[in-house]
Amino acid sequence: MINLKQIFEPKSIAVIGASREPSKVGHAIVKNFVAGGFPGDIYPINPNATEILGLKCYKNVSSIKGKIDCAIIAIPAQFVPGALEECGKKGVRGIVLITGGFSEVGNVEGERQVAEIAKRYDLSIIGANCLGVLNPAARVDGIFLPVYKMARPRVGDIGFISQSGAVGGCIVDLAAYAGIGISKFVSYGNATVIDETHLLEYLGKDEKTRIIVMYLEGVRRGKEFIKVAKEIAKKKPIILLKAGVSKKGAEAVKSHTASLAGSAEAYRAVMKQCKIIEAKTLMELFYFAKIFDQPLPKGNRVGIVTNGGGYGVLATDAVELFELELANFSEESKKILRKNLPNYVNIRNPLDVVGDADSARYDLAINTLMEDPNVDIIVVVVLFQTVAIDSRVISVITRAADQKKKPIVVISTGGEYTEVHKRIFDSYGIPTYHSPTAALDAVQKFVWYADFLKKNKRIG
């Protein structure tokens, strides 16, 4: 765990395989650290260069006088054992091994050698065959993809663990695009030394991580994983997408990260046992993660506000589909709504404030439901295509959400104008979805987890 801190929060890093060529992985890593404002020492290692991006180059790790917390290795596989030996003798304990070409391509002996060196020198190695690590708060950007191709998210409280670099990169890019913050991100590839259980345990203890999201292709230590997951789930939600659930998918996993996929039924049973929230698609993984930034719901009664009647019907269908309950508004709420809304508005749930609704009408409706003891969750449909709705509705919903009394989710469907506003909602911590089905699916997972926490506290 100490060595993992040196990887996620290093005070100094060495980039073994640093390059002057912009098209090379070793160049992108150095550039990301420099451009990202890493406050510690950066040591590029390249025996054929004297300077890279204004930084002095070194022939090897042993020629550096200062202490090195973490080394990022991006050199051909045949040279990796020698680099690891040097790191071990130098006292470097945190390693991010970007290099591929190990067991995923049949080089089992090469990977065994890496593991043996790690054991001998007590090295914590992320990889081999990985994308890298990211910690926005510490300005650690050890990912080899350039920023102009994969944006970096702001500081937040969602920790991402991804066995696949490609999937992980897409998740990070999506988070940045939507304005959603992360605490830590790690792509761990072949799990030669550090596996998913180590990383789950680390994020479980990390004070800056409140939600854990995982993409797994296999689990190395099943019993330990179950034990760790059970304990963490009592304090933090774990959202998991398991790949390789089909026969052909399981075969693909072997050639990707050399993992044993296992049966879908077995993994689903484990997730249920550990109270892990299962995502079945990449977008579900993203959608479920967003909602856990909201205050926990006290029950499953949903109040719907919409400016489109059809969307109110679709949201009602989704409430029933996911076995939630459509709230019965209190008499006091009905009285307030009747008095202040136009007489052509039907005072019922879903509450259709009609297509001519402006932000003031939304303000009245949302705040009324916020005070209604019969409503546990508020679902707000905002169709930006209507004439009276504009950016002012964002302030209305944000003010209501800032009260932290009840969870609020937004449903909004449309083109460019709508997408811009959806990103603003997400950046303010208000989970926004493209459809009632996507939104209520996330709500159901949120309610399920909140119910588990209540029962767990009652038990002891």
| CATH (domain of 76) | 3.40.50.720
In this predicted structure, what is the pLDDT of residue 399? 97
Are residues 105 and 159 part of one domain?
A: no
173-223 pLDDT, tens per residue? 999 998 899 999 999 999 999 999 999 999 999 999 999 999 999 899 999
Are residues 270 and 235 part of one domain?
A: yes
Predicted confidence band of residue 101 (pLDDT cuts 50, 70, 90): very high
When pLDDT is averaged across residues 290-314 and rounded to a whole number, the result is: 96
Region of poorest pLDDT, from 10-14, 88-92, 219-223 = 219-223
Number of Cβ atoms within 10 Å of the Cβ of 448: 14
Are residues 213 and 128 part of one domain?
A: no
Tell me the average pLDDT of the chain. Answer: 93
The residue among 262, 293, 324 that closes a domain is: 293
Are residues 323 and 242 part of one domain?
A: no
Are residues 389 and 264 part of one domain?
A: no
The residue among 293, 328, 343 that closes a domain is: 293
In this predicted structure, what is the pLDDT of residue 427? 92
The residue among 274, 293, 312 that closes a domain is: 293
Task: With a cut of 80, say whether residue 302 has pLDDT above it.
Answer: yes
Predicted confidence band of residue 257 (pLDDT cuts 50, 70, 90): low
Are residues 276 and 397 part of one domain?
A: no
Are residues 267 and 310 part of one domain?
A: no
Task: With a cut of 60, say whether residue 249 has pLDDT above it.
Answer: no
CATH number of 219's domain:
3.40.50.261
Are residues 140 and 163 part of one domain?
A: no
First to last CA, the chain: 28
Domain of residue 26 covers 1-149
Are residues 230 and 130 part of one domain?
A: no
Are residues 327 and 219 part of one domain?
A: no
344-355 pLDDT, tens per residue? 999 999 999 999
* Spatial distance between the Cα atoms of 165 and 250, rounded to a whole number of angstroms: 17
Are residues 353 and 223 part of one domain?
A: no
Three-state SS string across the chain, please? CHHHHHHHCCCEEEEECCCCCCCCHHHHHHHHHHHCCCCCEEEEECCCCCEECCEECECCHHHCCCCCCEEEECCCHHHHHHHHHHHHHHCCCEEEECCCCCHHHCCHHHHHHHHHHHHHHCCEEEECCCCEEEEHHHCEECCCCCCCCCCCCCEEEEEEEECCHHHHHHHHHHHHHHCCCEEEEEECCCCCCCCHHHHHHHHHHCCCCCEEEEEECCCCCHHHHHHHHHHHHCCCCEEEEECCCCHHHHHHHHHHHCCCCCCHHHHHHHHHHHCCEEECCHHHHHHHHHHCCCCCCCCCEEEEEECCHHHHHHHHHHHHHCCCEECCCCHHHHHHHHHHCCCCCCCCCCEECCCCCCHHHHHHHHHHHHHCCCCCEEEEECCCCCCCCCCHHHHHHHHHHCCCCCCEEEECCCCHHHHHHHHHHHHCCCCEECCHHHHHHHHHHHHHHHHHHHHHHHHC
409-452 pLDDT, tens per residue? 999 999 999 999 999 999 999 999 999 999 999 999 999 999 99
Are residues 320 and 269 part of one domain?
A: no
Region of poorest pLDDT, from 263-277, 328-342, 379-393, 431-445 = 263-277
Long-range contacts of 165-170 (CB under 8 A, 24+ apart): 165/129, 165/130, 165/131, 165/132, 165/189, 166/131, 167/215, 167/243, 167/282, 168/131, 168/215, 169/131, 169/143, 169/145, 170/282
Q: Which residues pair with 173 in a beta bridge?
A: none
Q: How many domains does the chain have?
A: 3
